[in-house]
Structure 1
Amino acid sequence: MVRQQIGKYSISRRNLLYAFYGLVSFTTLASCGTNNSNTSNSNANNSSPTLSTNATSSNKSSTKLIRLGYQVSGDLTHEKGAIEKRLAPQGIGVTWSQFVSGPPLLEALNVGSIDLGPAGETPPIFAQAAGTNLIYVVNTPPGTGEGSAIIVPKDSPIQTLAGLKGKKVAYSRGTAQTFFVVKALEEAGLKISEVESVNLPVADGRAAFLNKTVDAFVESDPYLIKLQKEGSIRVLRDAQGIKTPGGYYLASRDFATNNAELLKVILEEYYQVGQWANKNRRAAAEILAPKVKTDVDTMELTLMRRKYDMRPITEEVISAQQKVADLLYALKVVPKQVDVKAATLTNQQYAAITPDAIRNKA
């Protein structure tokens, strides 16, 4: 069997894709997803354009079912049913699949299980390295950075990031946590190869941290807030000040190029719900709290640390994302040089799918 070397790890080509995504088994993670079909015909937005049922150009679509992905951190657009209401008059249904993180969501995109979904800055780079034919659709700016942190137990002898040298640090490889760890360690004069990276899905990493089988853990809201309130941890470094291009909505190339008008409508709904959330944090928290199994106050603080917004894919955005890809390649976090621009559309195609409100954010 042919094997490739990735940093400290040797892995077969057959399993290379799963190693990129930090998965022990994609089947196991994918089983965490749930599909819910919604085709509401009430409260439709009367301003929605009529979508053609004849696929005669990139601005017309014969699509009758949109398959969207979201993550366990919650999705307000899903909960409010905004896209369903917008598309119901055209006879277009919507299904949603939930994923534990960005990497399995993008793998579902790769195998054709979903058409569109969000991920942080790191998962698309791993996906491109693995040959996934995805497209960057729109950029989502980062939040305050307070919602993600490298933590140790309150009684840990480790006082600084430099103290992590040679220690076990648990995080989910291939997610946005990867880039955060890389940049945080860089500040302390460490390379990621100088710590013992323990690749675990978030829930398993949290269990390992609480059982003290790892020295440090990368935690995120709302669980980070819970641990902070309990006073059981110390934060070595949160993500404030870590420069990142943020996240993205990504689609399969076929979907993006063959459903321009439809994709534009979907992005409009995501954007409008996000703008509502920015002005109504408490109300948004009341919707999401039961879905992510936390209290409303904690969810409200979580949302205060987020930023609901969208920016168009521009040369500046592509350049910032390329810098992330180049750094991860230089550190041998990914074994292949990635050309971010290869996963983009032409300016004309972006003009066709990007709502005016988002385009004006450039």
Structure 2
Amino acid sequence: MLFRSTIRASAALLLLLPFAAACGSQAEAESPSDVSSVTLRVGATGWKTEEAVLKFAHLDDTPYNVRWSVFQGGDQQLQAVRAGALDLASSSEIPPVFAAADGEPNFKVVAVQRGATLNQEVVAPKGSKITDIAGLKGKKVGYVQNTTAHYFLYELLKRAGLKWSDIDAKPLLPNDGLAALNGGGIDAFASYGTSIITAHQQGATTIGSGKDILSGNFLWSARDSVLGSAAQRKAAADLIARITKAYAYVNDGRQSEFAEVVAKATHQPVAQAEKDFRDQQAQRPTAARGVGDDTIASQQKVADAFAQLGALKQKLNVSSFWSRKLNADLKKAL
């Protein structure tokens, strides 16, 4: 249903492209740095975390318009960017790799948001006799394809002395994976975020974690058209910076209050939401930074792993879809 909705939205946007391009050109000509006429279509995964934290910190009064859309994964956000339905996508390091490998990319990675790598796990259902990754040999294992779950499952299997071919891997979306896990359709599930929280609420146990495998680099990818507009670049940098400031506001003694917002959205007890949030911020406070050689190298390592797995047809040079064009504006906004 989500895929069909994205396609319909993409089709509608394509009809508006000539009009939007004309309006964009006119605004650029009038004032390259005037953001008042800018509308940024921004993606979020699971629930609108970034929108919620901005509202909580009273930083949602942007001088430009922001339209948030929720997706089940960063991979779907990148698909929407490719289709012209989003201007900014937030994801792990993995989705841009596959989006770029699938033809000529129309986007660039423009910023990095450092974040926690908790709730990135392989879980077994309640009552399962599987207690570790080695126990997955010959089992049906669900995973969210082209996401962190795909990557850390592969790395965990290697560490356990198993190959990808040693399991019966089933690509599933988070909600479908949860249903299959509880219904006996799969023996384990590799996923992240809200789906892992829900799995534990339903009695699932952790048999492997991506906490120490993942880099903690979460990427902001922008359509090339955004980078081509001074006003849109300024707006994008400002939005990313505001999110960093909003998390700093929460971490300045307001975690308990914000936990109530999180609990309502994720349907978990407030105490658990607060513990999870505190643990995440203790591991790695959420904060943005510009593009650097180290961030590019980190994603290159991920791309190389997928090439070894055979998930990519050929080795990919990730630097081809990174850009430092937002660095100056982001540094100023921060």
Shift of 1:165: 1.6
Gaps of 5+ in 2: 10-25
Aligned-residue RMSD, C-alpha: 2.9
Choose which of 244, 259, 262 in structure 2 pairs with 1:285. 259
Q: Deviation per CA, 1:260-304, whole angstroms, max 9, x where unpaired?
A: 222222222111112223332222221232223333223223323
Give SS of 2:28's match.
Answer: coil
Choose which of 109, 114, 118 in structure 2 pairs with 1:141. 114
Structure 1 counterpart of 2:272, one-letter code: T
The match for 2:141 is 169
The 2-side partners of 1:247 and 1:163 are apart by 30
Instruction: Give the TM-score of the pair, scaled to structure 2.
Output: 0.82
Gaps of 5+ in 1: 1-23, 33-51
Task: Report if the CA contact (8 A) 1:164-1:195 is conserved.
Answer: yes
The match for 1:253 is 224
Does residue 22 of structure 2 align to residue 26 of structure 1? Answer: no
Normalized per residue, the structure richer in helix is 2
The match for 2:316 is 338
The match for 2:305 is 327
Shift of 1:201: 0.7
The 1-side partners of 2:118 and 2:42 are apart by 28
Name the % identity.
Answer: 24
Structure 2 counterpart of 1:141, one-letter code: R
Structure 2 counterpart of 1:134, one-letter code: F
Give SS of 1:163's match.
Answer: helix
Call closer, same or farther: CA 1:58–1:133 in 2, change over 3 Å: farther
Alignment map for 1:58-207 (pairs within 5 Å): 63-78=37-52, 80-81=54-55, 84-87=60-63, 92-131=64-103, 132-143=105-116, 145-207=117-179
Does residue 289 of structure 2 align to residue 316 of structure 1? Answer: no
Call closer, same or farther: CA 1:310–1:214 in 2, change over 3 Å: same
Task: Report if the CA contact (8 A) 2:291-2:327 is conserved.
Answer: no
Choose which of 277, 302, 307 in structure 1 pairs with 2:276. 302
Shift of 1:188: 0.5
Alignment length, in residue pairs?
Answer: 309
Does residue 187 of structure 2 align to residue 209 of structure 1? Answer: no
Task: Report if the CA contact (8 A) 1:29-1:99 is conserved.
Answer: no
The 1-side partners of 2:65 and 2:183 are apart by 44
The 2-side partners of 1:200 and 1:313 are apart by 31
The 2-side partners of 1:337 and 1:213 are apart by 34
Structure 1 counterpart of 2:113, one-letter code: T
Call closer, same or farther: CA 1:328–1:297 in 2, change over 3 Å: same
Shift of 1:80: 3.7
Structure 2 counterpart of 1:26, one-letter code: F
Call closer, same or farther: CA 1:79–1:159 in 2, change over 3 Å: closer
The match for 2:236 is 263
Choose which of 312, 323, 327 in structure 2 pairs with 1:351. 327
Q: Deviation per CA, 1:85-135, whole angstroms, max 9, x where unpaired?
A: 121xxxx32211111111111111112212112111111111111133221
The 2-side partners of 1:59 and 1:186 are apart by 50
The match for 2:15 is none
The 1-side partners of 2:188 and 2:244 are apart by 36
Task: Report if the CA contact (8 A) 2:48-2:68 is conserved.
Answer: no
The match for 1:11 is none
Call closer, same or farther: CA 1:173–1:31 in 2, change over 3 Å: farther
The 2-side partners of 1:324 and 1:54 are apart by 37
Call closer, same or farther: CA 1:351–1:281 in 2, change over 3 Å: same
